[in-house]
Structure formats: C-alpha cells, structure tokens
Structure 1
Amino acid sequence: MADLEAYFPFLLTCLVFTVFLWAFLKPSRPKSHIPPTPFALPIIGHLHLLFPIPHKGFYKLSSRYGPIFRVFLGSKPGIVVSSPEVAKEFLKTHEHVFLDRASTSTADYISYGSKDLVFTPYGPYWKFMRKIVMSKLLNGKTLDMLSSVRYQEITRFIHLISKKTKVGEAVDLGKELMKLTNNVISIMLMGERCMDMEEGVDDVMKLVADMVQAAGNFNLSDYIWLFESLDLQGLGKKVKKLRARFDVMIERIIKEHEEARKHGGVEVKDLLHILLDIQQDESMEIKLSRENIKAFILDIFLAGTETTASTIEWGLSELINHPNIMKKALEEIHQVVGENRLLEESDIQNLPYLQAIVKETLRLHPVAPVLARESTEDSMVAGYHIPARTHIFVNVWALGRDPNHWENPHEFRPERFQEKEKELDVRGQHFPMLPFGSGRRMCPGISLAQFMVHTTLGAMIQCFDWKAGKDGNMPSVDMEEGFGLTLVRANHLVCLPVARLDPIPISM
C-alpha cells in the first residue's frame, strides 16, 4: 500500500494528462461544417458591424465571408444568408426547420404575447389563422368586395393632390401616402376611416408609425445577457404605453361592432365583422379570443400601411430620377386607360410596363430587407451544421443585388423584367427576389399590396408631373435609406406636383 501511495502523484498526473490528450484529440465536427465568422468582440459580438443599417452591414460582410456566415448578436448566434441558392436551401429545401420567426421582447408584447399571425410559432394555431386569412379575410372574393373602398380612397388622394397643383403647393408624399394607406386599411378592417375616428387621423398615424418603429427597434436586453433584466433603452416602458393606447382604440371599435350586430345594423361586412363571425362559430376547431382578434387587426395595420406607402414612395422616387422611364410608363397608361377616367385595378393586367416598374422597385427596395427566422432543431444546411434556436437572417436586400443573377444590379431598369429569362414573380418562388418572403410564412397580403401599389402609383403617373423639392427645383431625389423594421426612406419624398389631366371632375 505504501508503494502504491508513493506512485499516486505520478498516476494522477498520467490520468490528468490522458484526459487532456483525449479531449484534444477526440473526433470533432470538422471546421468546414461551421460557417465562417468575422472576429467578434467580447459581450457585444458583431453588433458593432451592423450599424447604422443592418442589411447593409450584412451585405458588406458577405463580400468578404461569402453567401453564408455566422454572427453573434451579443450572446445570440445567427446565420446570415446572402445568395439566392443558399436562401432556397433554408426557405424551401429545409423549410420545416425554419418555420418559426425570430421574435423580440418588444414585438412579442405588442402582438399580445405573439397571439397574432406574424410572430406566433408554427403550429396548430398558426395553421388555423393562416387558413382563416387565406379563405375568408384576404381571399379574392373579399378583396373584390372591398375594391370600391380602395378606389374611393385613391380617388380622394388624387383629388387632394389636384387641389395642391392649383395653388402651387408642394406635397409631403410620405405623409399623404401614409394617410391613404391608413384610411384604406382602416375602412377594410373596421368600416371607419382614420380621419373619422375619435382619435383623429394624425394620432392614429403616429400610433401605427410608433408601433412599427418599436417592433423594429434593436433592444439590447434581447441580445446581451448582462442586460437581460434591464430596460436600458426604455423600450419596454414605451411598448406598454403604445399597446395600451391601441387597446383603448380597438376595444371601442369592437364594442361598436358588437352593438351593431345585436341590432342588425350590418349591411356590408368589414374584416372585423368576419372575425367576430368566426369567433362565434361553434364549428371552428380553435376558438378565437378577443386578444387574438386585436393582435390580428394590429398585424394588418402594421403590415399594410407603412410598407405599402413606402413602396409607392420609393417607386415614384426612382421615376423622378429616371424621367425616360416615367415617360414610357405614361405613354402606356394613356394608350390603355386614356385620359377621361382614372386608372383602375382592372387595368393592371394590361399595363406590363407598370408591372415591371413595381417589380424593379421591390427588387431594389424590398418591403422587408431582412427575413428573420429561427431554427427549431439541429440541421445540416448548405454543408454547414446549424444548431437549434439559431437565428437565420436572409438578406433580401442583398439577393436583389446579386451580380450572379442581375446584370448591372444597382441600376433601376424595369425593362429587365420584360425579357423572357427574367419573367419572375414576387410570390416567393424565385429566390433572387423575395420582397414578400417565401413558403408557408410568406406575407398573406400580397394581392392587397399589389392592388394598392400598382393602382396608386399608376394614377400618380397618369395625372401629374412630379418635380423634386418644395420649389420643384431639385435636380434629383436623394435615395438614402432609413432604419427600421421595413425599408423606409430616410427623408420623406417632398415634391411639387404639376397637373397633366383631371380625370375625376368631382368635389370632395
């Protein structure tokens, strides 16, 4: 025993050395299975590389690290995808692993604890709501039923601009387009224009804009573990106030709808009436709660107002900077529609160049510049190991600028979509261009957005000449991007409109 005790230190040393040697030499996942990654700073990871505009930061990194690379947003691992081929791997080939959206604490709170369609995890409730949306709320029949609402509001908008031309007054198009889209969505949803609400159009617009901004704000507490329990930026406090304001407004409107239903005062059903029908239908496999209804209404407001308005604003900005394209679009509209009536939704199918202009606008200025998903299990994608609960960032802004798929990718040239080899749609099947996402979690409001963008932009081309700046003397429009959940202009488009014709001799 004494001899054994004498050798004990030596044996212990050998054991420790063996354990370390085994740990060092044990078979491990080859480094080739881990996507490349830039140098990360302690605590914040790669956050410093993403400011001021995240999708541009990702784009710059992809030029060095390739179409797929790994980042750390604080302590949260993420994968950035910047090529159509790799995007297809994540969004189609392995879609079942990446059906959950990456959410934040602010977005979760605003959406009533992810009780909406956008942020709720993939599962029975999401499938139920998606089916309801596609079969009852945003299907062709319902959109056709509410087409007169859209036409009337676009007519009001054009008439407003006409009055400005008569007094030589400039137009803040960012603001006026937001009013238009807010009014359209509000009437379709709740049968009430924002302008006619108790809260007033400016208050409603500001509430919607503030909620979009809050949902898209980068919350340090979500990504840096040291700050998890702190509200350093005050976002938690802010979103509570915002949702409380929205809740007061929407609760009033729901009660008004319920009273009207009791007294049989419903002639034309808006989307809220349809949701209340579904709530009261005992045959439905899932019972909608009041919070589900509120969360869905908020989804439509947030997804259907600023996104549509900013796409129209970007489109007109490009046309002002490319007068030859504006002229060609005007000639097509005058040939198909004429000069005695306003362009309508039914005309869109006969205006291929206008369609190409909208596609080119969405290629360069996608509504959502980055698609954020989260993996639900470990997987191998594009030759790399992707652990569960990894955030996936598909840089849609970069896909539309991939030189392997687009000739002169930074040039605004709608004609590219009239070439046979570029007959692409925007419904998620062509991965060089995914402005509305792809697969099962693609935006369900594509048809509504397409109607609004084509008809409004077309009517603006048809009726007015647009000169940049308050005095109409600016040589061009700046194309600087702002920061947010959606791709917005850094500065509202301010123009001086000049009347071309007045196809709507009405007084409002």
Structure 2
Amino acid sequence: MKFNLWFRAYRGFSSQQTLKKFEDIPGPRPYPIVGNLPELKIFGGDLEFNPFDKFCLNLHEKYGDLVRWSILGENNLFVFKPEHAKIVFQNEGPSPNRPSVIPWEVYSKRKNYPSGLVNSQGDIWKNQRSASNPIVAKPQAVAMYLDTHNKIIDEFVDILMNNSHNGEPFAIKKFETELKYVLLEMMSIVAFDQRLQCINAEKRSPEILKLFNSIKDYGDLTSQLFYNIPIWKYFRNKLWREFERTSDFVYNFTRKYVTESYNYVKNLNQKGNHTMLQQYLLNKNNLSFDDIVSIMSEFLLAAFDTTSTTLHFWLHRISSNPDIQEEIYEEILKNDKKNAYIDQDYLSKIPLLKASLKESQRLHSIAPTNGRVLPNDIILDNYLIPKNTTINMAFFLMSKSTKYFKNPEQYDPKRWLRESNSDPINPYTSMPFGFGSRMCIGRRLAEQKMYLIMIKILKNFRLEYIGKEPKLGFRLIVVPDYDLTLKFIPRKN
C-alpha cells in the first residue's frame, strides 16, 4: 500500500528534473516561530485573513498556482490547479484527514462529547463513516423520505399561495428565512423521526424558535472564534461562553429527541424497513449513543447552513434568468403526473434542473477551500510536499477561472449537459460536495430536498428577483450577504 502511494506521488517525475524543496515554493517569507503571521493586517501586514476567499485570491494573484504559507510552525499549501487537486485526492489514503474546525474540537473535548463525521479524524472517523455509509448514502435510504418531504413542501406551497389574492402576484422579503424553516422541518424527519412543526409560523413553539436562533448563532459564533486570536482555547472568555451556551442548547435538544426515538425503537423488531435514525439506534455498529447524537446534531446544522445557503444562491440565479427558468418549467411539465407526488423516476428525468443547480454551485462554491492533511509525501510541479502539510484546494477560484470555463461568470446550466457542450469539463474544477471517501455523506439527501423544493415552487409560480444587488459575506463558508426578496407570480395551471 505504501509503495502504491509513493508511486502515485512520484509518477510523472523524471530523474532529469530537479526535485525542489517545500521552502522553494512561492509565498511570503516566514519569520521564526510566528511564520507568516506578520503578513496579516491584524499584525501590521497587508493581508486580510477574513474574508478567507479574498485572502486566497490575493495569494493566488501574487504568487501563482502553488503558494506556501506558514503559521506558528505549521506548513500550509494553497493549490489553485485542478491537476494538483487530483494528485492530492489520489494520495489521501483510506482514512483522509482534513483540517479541523478548532472551536468544535475544543468544545467536544471540554464536554467529553465525541466529534461527529465533519470534525472527527483517523480511526474514529473511519468507524463513524463505515457505520453511516449503508444507512445514509444509499439511494434507497434517501428515497424513503420522499413521501413525507413531498407532503411538507406541498404544505409550504399552500402557505405561499395564501399570500396571493385572486391569483395576483405577491412579494416575500427575506424568503431565505422561510426556506430555513422548511429545511429544518424536512431534516427533523431524518434526525428525529418526527416533525417539529416549523413551516407554519402560527404553529412554531418557543422551543423551536429558540432552536432556530441557536443554530443561526452557532454558525456566526464559530466564525468569530475561528478568525480571531484563540485566547478562548486557554480561558472561557465572553465569546466562548456564548458559543458554549448555543452549542449546549443544540446538543441537548438533539439528545432529547433522539432519546425519545430510542425509547420507541428499542421495542421494535430488528428486521424490516427502518428509518435512518432507527437503523443507527438498532444496529449501532460500534457507535455509542453519544456518537449518534453528535451525528444527528450535524444533520440539523448542515440542513440549516450549507443546504439553505446553496438553495438561496440557486433561487437567486433561477429568478434572475427568466429564459432558463421557463425551460426548466417546460421540463417539469413534461414529467408532471396527475398527482403532485414526485418519485425517484421523476427525479431521474430532470437533467436541466439538475444542471442548473450544478451551475449555481460552480458560481457559488460555499467552501472557499477543501482541505486535506496527507499521510505521505507527494510531488507537485517538482516540489516535494512533506506529509502532514495542510493542503487547501481553492475550488471557488478554479470554478470561475477562464482557464477552465468559457465565459465563467455567465450562468449557463447547459454547459453541464453533454449534448450541449463539446468541451469536457475537468471534474476537479468544481466539487461542491467534496471528493472520495470523505465527500459529503448527505449529498443525496441534500440534493433530493433541493430538487423537490425547486420543482414544486416553479410548478406553481414564476419567480422574479426584486432584491438589492447581491453581495457575498463570509463565515466558515461563503454566504449571501443580501436578502432573497422574490416576486411570486402564480401560474395559471
């Protein structure tokens, strides 16, 4: 195995070429002990570390496709070419490590809670992922939720329709807030086997409102901790205490509902069709109850943050491109059945709608970089990259580069359809869900939810974006820093 990894790393390297050291890679000159910290504005330099996407762009423009960076003795490498990203992924090993979100790691250790799939590493991650793959990643496991998710979105569409008087158009400001409630409701079926009654404002309990605000604050506070001097690692300052209170509420909320499900599940027959949560609780597969609670907490947080952000960008693109929107509507009509139920067969026949999501994700990569910490040395452009170097692959730049895409700033879903695009797209230029064994385990579930929402909204309404000029913000992910204000025009069908 080690020989194969070594061979992969060194293939393409000729003995006539001179192997260069990591220190020879272009990048700012590091200082003893502190590394490149003096380059940052907070320490008197010129570089802004936050927003992180602009930080990466500045490094790329100044130093090129490979950029060395060092902080407090830790080597980092920024990668801006898909060919290099491919080599990194080919050498990630069977249990890929990636940079941890340090506030989450510190919180888990202080509380003695296990990390979930997002932040765990090594054998712990491998055990969690091996147990989760057959439960979460299979198409039939995701399809189990089609019935309930159809019903939830139908209820949501009915609520939207109530805003229209006699079929007249209407506008909704901050539509992203309603989307988050819908996604939270859809994910509660997965995480807790029950609905939280989120989508109807009149039915939202004080506990649900607190959960909603806590999940929102969780992302904001994580970002503040991550991009500030980490004094909270050594003593619990005010910012850390706020983060801890918020995290405690989300974790304890999840534990409460998972416990309710466990009290029901323990009397079930081991055989038969079971939900994802029931399979976790019945099978366990070397997972502790706390492992399961951590994983379900992540499901909630992902539904709220990453999925809602992706849907926000996608709806903005669709509502701003009426011609594309109408083509997708025609595709929906071709597949439409007498009832409103959308099944797996339906979802297999919407190539343009799927391409429109993929194109939105290309233009709005919510993760500025995808990181790996490799177990072996590799070679990139004749530079020796030592093992344990943190390698950051900047897909958000590659996916908008003229080197890899024609008219990269144009929203063109058909570039992803084979019959419309004669130029093949390098798959390592845009990876919204990651790659390999560590790619997002909830990809199918997230896509299914977004497809259902978009189909049912476009089937009933023509959309127009009437908000302000879009701007981007940054937390741990790239987020829209603008309200999703939409005009809904009911369709006559």
TM-score computed with the length of structure 2 as normaliser: 0.82
Q: Distance in 2 between matches of 1:71 and 1:383?
A: 18
Q: Does 1:203 align with 2:203?
A: no
Give the counterpart letter for 1:452 in structure 2: K
Give the counterpart letter for 2:100 in structure 1: S
CA contact (8 A) 2:83 2:428 kept: yes
Give the counterpart letter for 2:491 in structure 1: R
Q: Distance in 2 between matches of 1:172 and 1:213?
A: 18
Q: CA RMSD in A?
A: 3.2
User: In the TM superposition, what are the counterparts of 1:230-241 in structure 2 within 5 Å?
Assistant: 234-241=238-245
Give the counterpart letter for 2:210 in structure 1: D
TM-score computed with the length of structure 1 as normaliser: 0.80
Number of paired residues? 454
Matched residue, 2:287: 288
Q: Distance in 1 between matches of 2:182 and 2:208?
A: 10
Matched residue, 1:170: 172
Q: Distance in 1 between matches of 2:98 and 2:24?
A: 23
Q: Deviations over 1:275-329 (max 9, x none)?
A: 11123xxxx4xx3222211111122122233222221211111122222222222
- Of 199-208 and 182-191, the range deviating more from structure 2: 199-208
Matched residue, 2:351: 352
Q: Does 1:38 align with 2:28?
A: yes
Q: Distance in 1 between matches of 2:209 and 2:71?
A: 36
Matched residue, 2:160: 161
Q: Deviations over 1:413-455 (max 9, x none)?
A: 112112344566xxxx920111111112111111112211222
Q: Deviations over 1:237-264 (max 9, x none)?
A: 2332122212321232133223323565
Q: Distance in 1 between matches of 2:95 and 2:136?
A: 26
CA contact (8 A) 1:481 1:487 kept: yes
Matched residue, 2:12: none
User: In the TM superposition, what are the counterparts of 1:448-459 in structure 2 within 5 Å?
Assistant: 448-459=445-456
Q: Does 1:191 align with 2:182?
A: no
Q: Distance in 1 between matches of 2:369 and 2:461?
A: 34
Matched residue, 2:5: none
Matched residue, 2:435: 438
Q: Which has the larger radius of gyration?
A: 1
Q: What secondary structure, in the 3-state scheme, does the structure 2 residue paired with 1:78 have?
A: strand
Matched residue, 1:462: 459
Q: Distance in 2 between matches of 1:260 and 1:114?
A: 24
Q: Does 1:118 align with 2:118?
A: yes
CA contact (8 A) 1:379 1:388 kept: yes
Q: Distance in 2 between matches of 1:341 and 1:362?
A: 27
User: In the TM superposition, what are the counterparts of 1:350-499 in structure 2 within 5 Å?
Assistant: 350-418=349-417, 419-421=420-422, 430-469=427-466, 478-499=469-490
CA contact (8 A) 1:79 1:392 kept: yes
Matched residue, 2:298: 299
Deviation at 1:386, TM superposition (A): 2.7
Deviation at 1:399, TM superposition (A): 1.9
Deviation at 1:397, TM superposition (A): 0.6
Unmatched segments (≥5 aa) in structure 1: 1-27, 503-508
User: In the TM superposition, what are the counterparts of 1:62-73 in structure 2 within 5 Å?
Assistant: 62-73=60-71
CA contact (8 A) 1:467 1:496 kept: yes
- Of 189-198 and 390-399, the range deviating more from structure 2: 189-198
Going from structure 1 to structure 2, the CA distance change for 1:113 and 1:391 (only over 3 Å counts) comes to farther
CA contact (8 A) 1:164 1:497 kept: no
Matched residue, 1:179: 181
Deviation at 1:381, TM superposition (A): 3.6
Q: Distance in 2 between matches of 1:243 and 1:140?
A: 31
Q: What secondary structure, in the 3-state scheme, does the structure 2 residue paired with 1:102 have?
A: coil
Matched residue, 1:5: none
Q: Distance in 2 between matches of 1:349 and 1:263?
A: 37
Q: Distance in 1 between matches of 2:186 and 2:208?
A: 12
Matched residue, 2:6: none
Deviation at 1:364, TM superposition (A): 0.8
Q: Distance in 2 between matches of 1:318 and 1:221?
A: 33
Q: Distance in 2 between matches of 1:485 and 1:331?
A: 37
Give the counterpart letter for 1:77 in structure 2: N
Going from structure 1 to structure 2, the CA distance change for 1:329 and 1:90 (only over 3 Å counts) comes to same
Deviation at 1:460, TM superposition (A): 1.9
CA contact (8 A) 1:320 1:326 kept: yes
Q: What secondary structure, in the 3-state scheme, does the structure 1 residue paired with 2:76 have?
A: strand
- Of 310-319 and 380-389, the range deviating more from structure 2: 380-389
Deviation at 1:110, TM superposition (A): 4.8
Q: Distance in 2 between matches of 1:98 and 1:385?
A: 22
Q: Distance in 1 between matches of 2:138 and 2:374?
A: 30
User: In the TM superposition, what are the counterparts of 1:255-294 in structure 2 within 5 Å?
Assistant: 255-261=259-265, 269-279=274-284, 284=285, 287-294=286-293
Going from structure 1 to structure 2, the CA distance change for 1:271 and 1:67 (only over 3 Å counts) comes to same
Matched residue, 2:13: none
Matched residue, 1:99: 96
Q: Distance in 1 between matches of 2:263 and 2:375?
A: 44
Q: Distance in 1 between matches of 2:462 and 2:338?
A: 14
Q: Deviations over 1:436-483 (max 9, x none)?
A: 1111211111111221122212222221122334xxxx5xx5331121
Matched residue, 1:80: 78
CA contact (8 A) 2:117 2:129 kept: yes
Q: What secondary structure, in the 3-state scheme, does the structure 1 residue paired with 2:444 have?
A: helix
Matched residue, 1:252: 256
CA contact (8 A) 1:45 1:71 kept: no
Unmatched segments (≥5 aa) in structure 2: 1-17, 42-46, 199-203
